[in-house]
Amino acid sequence: MSTLERLRLEMDRTLRPQGERPSYSTRMTRRIFLHRSLALGAASAATYGFFPLLNVLDVAFAADGQAFKFAWLSDTHLYPKDVNTRFVDKTVRAVQEVQAMNPPADFLIFGGDLAQLGDPVELRLGAELLKELKIKKVFIPGEHDWYLDMGKTWNEMFGQSPWKLDHKGVRFLGLDTVSHAEDFWTGRKMSPKERMGHMATLDGTLGGAWAAVGPEQIKWLNDALADWPKDKPVVVFSHNPLYEYYPPWNFWVRDWQAVHEVLKPFSNVTNIHGHTHQVLYNEIGKVRSIGMLATSWPWPYAPEGVPILTRPMVRADPGDHFDGVGWSALALTAQARVDNEYRMWRKDVFATAAVDSGTGDNGNQILSPRIADRI
Amino acid sequence: MTTRKRLSLTAGGCVLLAGAVATNQGLAHKAEHTPEQLQAFHGVFMDQVKTGDLLFHGDAATEKRLGVKLSATGMACAMCHPYASDTHPYEFPKFQEQMNEFATLRDMINWCIEKPNEGEKIDPNGEAMKALEAYIYWSNRNARLDPGRH
């Protein structure tokens, strides 16, 4: 057993009293789902069924809870239009599909990394594309939105995080997990663009373990939950996952254990996160985490640390830039269930064989951190 | 030609060949390597790795210096392959599905440049290709060779 696996088990034992499970069991189910692909058109869309990744969570839903849907969109990584139109095309497609949800989503959560390099031109382009969506929108930032001007434009355009939103018996919390990088730029006399460049490189060295909730926000989280009944649903949105998956790529927040201490009394917590650009599922204690797809491109699974509860997505075809990406439609149902449907723009979402998964197939892969950016 | 004569010619050829090899070895290894020499060899390799690392991560100055255009979409190799993951250099050569042909790592690199990145194919024996190859192999060093594996 690896050190990470041991740590995870230890945290799970610490946070979850013996014999307890999350108040609702989590099952991964298969359901035939007709892919309503805008690209294929309505006529061909009904010709095949496929197994979407559907996390069915049996929720001990509050008595006053009502059924509703919401949508997650993130990691659009928009460049200015003259550099790249394919990311624009995919954002437009996702926005159109969210707008076409029937019944409609109550709101959209945008989970960060709207821009690629934090450029106001990119952020304005994102705002323009999202304007087509007529439903309520809430936002949390990604590191790509932040490090050109340290969140100034982002906060002006999309509002500050953290925030809380009570909606139909559920407390939604939006966190900022991106603004806590240690200052590597001042001493090196870097320009804002250079700083952004390092932060925008997933496998960069200088950014270090930048993903964090931070002491102030952990206190805020504690206060934001102080008046909330322990058995009522809580959904926490974060750009980075709230557990340790793969720190070198910031597939975590460095203070995840402190976050889980705050969430520990609550029996019904779902963390929904972006950043990892891949199908992910994990449980720690009573908290479940669901990783969302990007619209821009899929990241490979990290060489280690993929939660064993994750059923991996199929390998994407690099020749098709609409492959392996998409968005998520989520529903909280009055029948005490939370559904997450990945709307991935392809026929098969799950890998059915290890050779097609990009995780089980990588046993021979031994990787080293990059070297040319250690300046 | 008799069997004896053929054997004699073969033996003569072997002597000549052995002499040539010995001469070459003599030129290459007059003395044991000094630590400085080994350091220099490693330096040459790591310079290539660093250049490849920069190209792989979309460094515009390095592309300009080497006269290559690896992408026209803003995408760099590392955006799909952080730490050169999922490049599987140890599996080449192999039948590569996207190309529908038996391919080397250099073929695959050029396919990625041309197709997903919409860049311009590079000289398969040029400096940029050697550097990219060096970086990809270095990042995946210590994996076992497994050529032909899909």
Residue of chain B whose Cα is closest to the Cα of A318: B116
Nearest C-alpha in B relative to A365: B143
Residue B132 has pLDDT above 80, yes or no: yes
Percent helix / strand / coil, chain A, rounded to 5: 25, 20, 55
User: A3-354: which CATH topology?
Assistant: Purple Acid Phosphatase; chain A, domain 2 (3.60.21)
Q: Give residue A222's pLDDT.
A: 98
HEC letters along A221-236: HHHHCCCCCCCCCEEE
Average pLDDT over residues A56-64: 42
How far is it, in rounded angstroms, from Cα A159 to Cα A39? 33
In sequence order, what are the beta bridge partners of A72?
Answer: A109, A328
Question: Which of A365, A373, A375 best probes binding to B when mutated, by most B CB atoms within 10 angstroms?
Answer: A365
CATH of range B36-139; options 1.10.510.10, 2.40.110.10, 1.10.760.10, 3.40.250.10: 1.10.760.10
Please check whether residue B94 touches A, CB under 8 A: no
Cis amide prior to A307 (ω within 30 degrees): no
Alpha helices in A230-331 (DSSP H): 256-263
Spell out the domain ranges in chain A.
Answer: 3-354
DSSP-based helix, strand, coil % in chain B, nearest 5: 60, 5, 40
Beta-bridge partner residues of A149? none
Q: What is the pLDDT of residue A165?
A: 97
Q: What is the pLDDT of residues A229-257, one digit of tens each?
A: 998 889 999 999 999 999 999 999 999 99
Token readout for A50 is 């496929």
What local confidence, expressed as pLDDT, does residue A375 receive? Answer: 82
Separation of alpha carbons B89 and B105, rounded Å: 6
Give B45-80 pLDDT, tens digit per residue: 999 999 999 999 999 999 999 999 999 999 999 999
- Sole residue written with tokens 């391919």: B103
Residue B51's contacts (CB-CB under 8 Å, 6 or more residues apart) are: A372, B62, B66, B127, B131, B134, B135
Q: Which residues, 6+ apart, have CB-to-CB distance to A22 below 8 Å? A: A267, A268, A283, A286, A287, A288
pLDDT of residue A15: 64
Q: Cα distance from A34 to chain B (closest Cα, Å)?
A: 28
Task: Please state, rounded to an integer, the average pLDDT across all residues of chain A.
Answer: 84
A33-34 and A68-73: which strand pairing? Answer: unpaired
Interface test with A, best of B86, B112, B135, B150 (most A CBs within 10 A): B86
For residues A312-341, one letter each, b for 16 or more C-beta atoms within 10 angstroms of the residue's C-beta and e for the rest, the string is bbbbbebeebbbbbbbbbbbbbeebbbbbb
Q: Is A95 helix (H, G, I), strand (E, B) or coil?
A: helix
Phi, psi for residue A169 in degrees, rounded to 5: 85, 5
Residue A194 identity: E
Rounded to whole angstroms, the Cα distance separating A15 from A6 reads: 14
More confident residue, A49 or A374: A374
For residue A198, the chain B residue with the least C-alpha distance is B57
Residue-level pLDDT at A103: 86
Residue of B69, B83, B88, B141 for testing the chain A interface, max A β-carbons within 10 Å: B83
**C-alpha torsion sign, points A16, A20, A21, A23:** negative
- Does position A363 have pLDDT exceeding 90, yes or no? no
The Cα of B58 is separated from the nearest Cα of chain A by a number of Å equal to: 10
Domain positions in chain B: 36-139
The angle that helices A86-99 and A120-130 make with each other, rounded to 10 degrees, is 30
CB pairs under 8 A between A and B: 88
Nearest chain B residue to A364 by CA distance is B143
In chain A, what residues touch B75 (CB-CB under 8 Å)? 84, 297
DSSP code, position A280: E
Q: What pairs with residue A78 in β-bridges?
A: A115
The answer to which of A5-19, A21-35, A57-71, A147-161 has the lowest mean pLDDT is A21-35
| A247 in contact with B, Cβ within 8 Å | no
**For residue range A176-191, what is the model confidence (pLDDT) as tens digits?**
999 999 999 999 999 9
User: pLDDT grade, residue A360 (50/70/90)?
Assistant: confident
pLDDT at A18: 56
Quote the pLDDT of residue A9.
66
ipTM of the shown complex:
0.83
Mean pLDDT on A132-136: 96
Percentage, residues of chain B above pLDDT 70: 81
Contacts of residue B115 in chain A, CB cutoff 8 Å?
A: 318-319
Q: Which of A263-277, A308-322, B10-24 has the highest mean pLDDT?
A: A263-277
Q: Which residues pair with A270 in a beta bridge?
A: A235, A288
